[in-house]
Amino acid sequence: MGITVHFEGKLKDEASYNAICSNAEAFAKEMEWPFALISEQEIKLERTRNEEDWDYIGPVKGIEIFPHEACEPFRLEFDRDLYIQEFTKTQFAPVEIHVLLVEFLRSNIELFESIEIIDEGEYFETNDIEVLKKHLQACNSQLEQYLEQPDKYYGPVKLENGRIVDLMEQ
């Protein structure tokens, strides 16, 4: 359940890293969204490769943007090899937030050696906001069915790290 944009890839080089961070900062400022730079010497990132879990441990750098209180943070967090594997759930924010984040990714594709973008709302693939709205409506309708049982389920819940859990069991 949920409308999330997943993105994974590797930047071409350090110049591409500088460009995407500069573009992201300018984008955040233009939208008047808060942001924070990411710079950690040693961190653990939980990742999946070929449907198997693997952890990256080492330095990371990038930028984190906070588009809307009802949207997960948009993290552009790269490891030492300039590789990224991230996702941002947008389903509870206005539809325009989803569109803007997808358009940001699309406008920076040339900076990547390789990139895969999976948009559960299908906006990336179709450029059709009506398709995105239908997916959002279907998700919200399904969520409402669960929430009609308040003794069993509640949600959505925003975690300390900014991630949003659609549905929790009592």
Q: State the pLDDT at residue 40.
A: 95
Rounded to 5 degrees, what are φ and ψ at 25? -65, -45
Residue 105 lies in domain: 4-169
Residue whose C-alpha is closest to residue 43's, from 165, 157, 161: 161
| Arithmetic mean of pLDDT over the chain | 94
**Has this prediction a pTM greater than 0.75?**
yes
State CA 16 to chain mean position distance.
20
Pairing between β-strand 83-89 and β-strand 4-11 as defined by DSSP bridges: antiparallel
| Mean pLDDT, residues 119-143 | 95
Cα distances (Å, whole numbers) of residue 10 to 50, 57, 83, 115, 116: 16, 17, 4, 6, 10
pLDDT > 90 in the chain, percent: 79
Q: Which residue's structure tokens are 């070929």?
A: 50
pLDDT band per the 50, 70, 90 thresholds, residue 1: low
Q: Which residue's structure tokens are 């999946």?
A: 48
How many angstroms separate the first and last alpha carbons of the chain? Answer: 18
The count of domains in the chain is 1
Question: Within 13 Å, how many C-alpha atoms sit on residue 72's CB side?
Answer: 22
Rounded to 5 degrees, what are φ and ψ at 98? -60, -50
pLDDT band per the 50, 70, 90 thresholds, residue 112: very high
pLDDT tens sequence across 70-96: 999 999 999 999 999 999 999 999 999
| Mean pLDDT, residues 138-159 | 90
Pairing between β-strand 164-165 and β-strand 153-154 as defined by DSSP bridges: unpaired
Cα distances (Å, whole numbers) of residue 6 to 80, 101, 149, 152: 20, 11, 30, 29
Q: State the pLDDT at residue 154.
A: 87
| Residue 88: strand pairing partners | 5
pLDDT tens sequence across 52-72: 888 899 999 999 999 999 999
Q: Is the pLDDT of residue 20 over 90?
A: yes
